[in-house]
Structure 1
Amino acid sequence: MTKMDDTNNRTLTLKRTFNAPIQLVWEAWTQPEHIANWWGPKGMKTKVIEHNFNVGGTWKYTMEMPDGNEFIAEGEYLEIIELAKICSSANFRPMTEGVEIQAIFEASGDKTNFTFNVVHPTAEYCQQQEKMGFMNGWGSVFDRLHEYMQEVAL
């Protein structure tokens, strides 16, 4: 098995097109005041605890569930290419740990094509995360981002 095949077997991907210019979508991903408005599935409140947006910088958000329990999301920025790509290690405790998230942005006129990859340590862990509801969970997050983009684009 080649390294590329191995990565493909360990990666879950979601794609969206946002009806907003790339600069606005980028700001939503990179500025704490925006992140708090959309990060996390519907029904969760997000608080940005730490956000050092530079390679080697760390981020930490808490997401309060309707029942009062908290999710902790945290990681370290591995790669940042302005208006193009953000890669980070990520832990989403207690559900997911030891993954890499990749947010890829591509301008398409006044819209933004967006690809979100989550690379897992093993193919088995990737399959487990998919069965646990990866597509619905992250799909809900990006639904919130889409709604937020509509609000701030006005």
Structure 2
Amino acid sequence: MEQPADGGDPQRPLPSWLADDPAAIPAYALARAGNAMTARFTRELATVGLRPHTFTVLVHLAREPALTSAELARRLAVTPQSMSALLHGLAEAGWVERPTGALRGQRIDVRLTDAGREALAAAGPVLAELGRPEAMGLTAEEATTLHALLQRVLSTLSDPRRSP
């Protein structure tokens, strides 16, 4: 009998969680659903010239008009270097402004421009479409329940006291 390409034993039974179908594991199903929604979110945002990280930065700056690059990096869970590159692109697009010539240790606030507000506003119809219960194969009641459950999962997973 031939050995599988990965060198595993073809006679060895699968672990029960794998034989029973990992799609039955809520964390696995949630990760797969998250990946599918992220892919769709990315495709739809691209129709209005935005990417997910770009959109998220614009959202934060619209809600809090002056944040530093470091504050944005923490909120998006990216490195300061990545945030610097992202903000450079946003400034070149005219969506944010970052003062130059600051002294060492001086707070440098990033601010949303009118063009950035317009870019963010263009995402409104995209979000409305993605948020329609029918777009996710749900009823309105199911969408409300899903949202509440996702908020609870996010709250639990974001709480450092609960992480393993």
TM tier relative to shorter chain: under 0.3
The structure number with the bigger radius of gyration is 2
- Bigger helix share: 2
The structure whose RCO (Cα within 8 Å, separation 6+) is larger is 1
TM-score, with normalisation over the residues of structure 2?
Answer: 0.26
Higher strand share: 1
